[in-house]
Structure 1
Amino acid sequence: MQRLADRLDLINHWTGMTVRWFALIMVLLQFAVVLLRYVFGFSSIALNESVLYLHAGLFMLGAGYTLLVDGHVRVDIFYAGAENRTKARIDAFGYTILAIPSMMALLYWTWPSVINSISMMEGAISVGGIPAVWLLKSLIPAFCILLIIQSVACLLRQIIALRDGVDDQGAQS
């Protein structure tokens, strides 16, 4: 189970290492948009939309990596003071009952719209924009799949921790 979890982690690790560059490109592109508009009086809808596309890609494709590095926001009313075994149970519940089913539902309900958009190569958001709304919509199933993969990897780790008996100090007993 540990090897499977590690291999699943690699998918989001490499995705995260790739899409992190979107942040830098997005900042540089936004700087260029502002510079072109206010210094040179030039404006481009496609250039503005490219920042939107990068932003969407960064967050949608980076969500699985954020889960991998435990960077998601937690509402830790019960979690913060809990013992490690209780934390493992809470996490396992969250992945099994909340994360995986919600991502599967989102994938199921958005799939027809995404397929329709791809099949007709849905065009630009605005006149003069990037003619690839289908690409933006394709991020939805990618987001769901990456989060399902990472949730399964995290769930496997929680099962291992519960099976092997993790105590309060995080050591296996």
Structure 2
Amino acid sequence: MKRLLALARGIDAITDCFAVLAKWAILAACAISTTNAVIRYSFDISSNAFLEVQWYLFAACVMFGAAQVLRVNEHVRVDIFYGMYPTRAKVLVDLAGLVLFLLPMTLFIAYSSLPVFVRMFVSQEMSSNSGGLIRWPAMLTIPLGLSLVALQGVSEIIKRAGWLMHVHEMDTHYERPLQ
């Protein structure tokens, strides 16, 4: 189990690196949006590329940040009873959700999006907008981001199994990230 927990720490480190990219993508998108607005209103000049690169950066932010949201246990839960469960029940519910829903769906969507990405990459598909950008970088965020979420799901499974086996400590309130 110690090796698996070391693997989980490694996955968490990868997730943290992509979370930094997501943070920079937010900053870059804000800077580009501001610059675009200033240039457009000051000089009456604009480009679709400015708008598209903002969308691409937003895609990077969402897809690269999703795994971090899972890692820090801040994802949305819809079970109204979850908050009343004791910690052990919460861990078991999380394990079931990770194994039965998160992993299958993220892997399926990541796998299904790969052919679209490859087609766009090979053909160097461009946006149909005047001055638009190539599309494959935005499309790459889907399989990559969902693969990161699946990988983080594996880490979360390992940490919760470790807690159930009494070899891994976690925050007693179970509202903070599992470390």
- TM-score for the superposition, normalised by structure 1: 0.90
Where 1:75 maps in the other structure, the secondary structure is: coil
Query: Is the Cα contact below 8 Å between 1:33 and 1:47 reproduced in 2?
Result: yes
Q: 2:27 aligns with which of 18, 24, 27?
A: 24
1:50-89 matches, within 5 Å, as: 50-89=53-92
Q: Would you say 1:139 and 2:125 are equivalent positions?
A: no
Q: Which residue of 1 aligns with 2:132?
A: 129
Q: Would you say 1:162 and 2:164 are equivalent positions?
A: yes
Query: Is the Cα contact below 8 Å between 2:7 and 2:155 reproduced in 1?
Result: yes
Q: What is the rounded CA distance, in whole Å, between the counterparts of 1:140 and 1:102 in structure 2?
A: 13
Query: Is the Cα contact below 8 Å between 2:70 and 2:152 reproduced in 1?
Result: yes
Q: Which residue of 2 aligns with 1:48?
A: 51
Where 2:83 maps in the other structure, the secondary structure is: coil
Q: 1:101 aligns with which of 96, 100, 104?
A: 104
Where 1:80 maps in the other structure, the secondary structure is: helix
Q: 1:38 aligns with which of 38, 41, 44?
A: 41
Describe the shift of the 1:125–1:153 C-alpha distance in structure 2 as closer, same or farther (beyond 3 A).
farther
The count of corresponding residues between Structure 1 and Structure 2 is 168
Q: What is the rounded CA distance, in whole Å, between the counterparts of 2:48 and 2:26 in structure 1?
A: 20
Gaps of 5+ in 1: none
Describe the shift of the 1:125–1:58 C-alpha distance in structure 2 as closer, same or farther (beyond 3 A).
farther
**Off by >2 Å, runs of 4+ in structure 1:** none
Q: 2:118 aligns with which of 108, 115, 118?
A: 115
Q: CA deviation at 1:170?
A: 3.1
Identity %: 27
Query: Is the Cα contact below 8 Å between 1:125 and 1:133 reproduced in 2?
Result: no
Where 2:127 maps in the other structure, the secondary structure is: coil
Q: CA deviation at 1:41?
A: 0.8
Query: Is the Cα contact below 8 Å between 2:21 and 2:64 reproduced in 1?
Result: no
Counterpart of 1:5, as a letter, is A
Counterpart of 1:154, as a letter, is E
Q: What is the rounded CA distance, in whole Å, between the counterparts of 1:21 and 1:109 in structure 2?
A: 28
Q: What is the rounded CA distance, in whole Å, between the counterparts of 2:110 and 2:5 in structure 1?
A: 27
Q: Which residue of 2 aligns with 1:90?
A: 93
Q: Once superposed, what is the RMSD of the aligned Cα atoms?
A: 1.8
Greater Cα shift, 80-89 or 105-114: 105-114
Counterpart of 1:50, as a letter, is V
- TM-score for the superposition, normalised by structure 2: 0.87
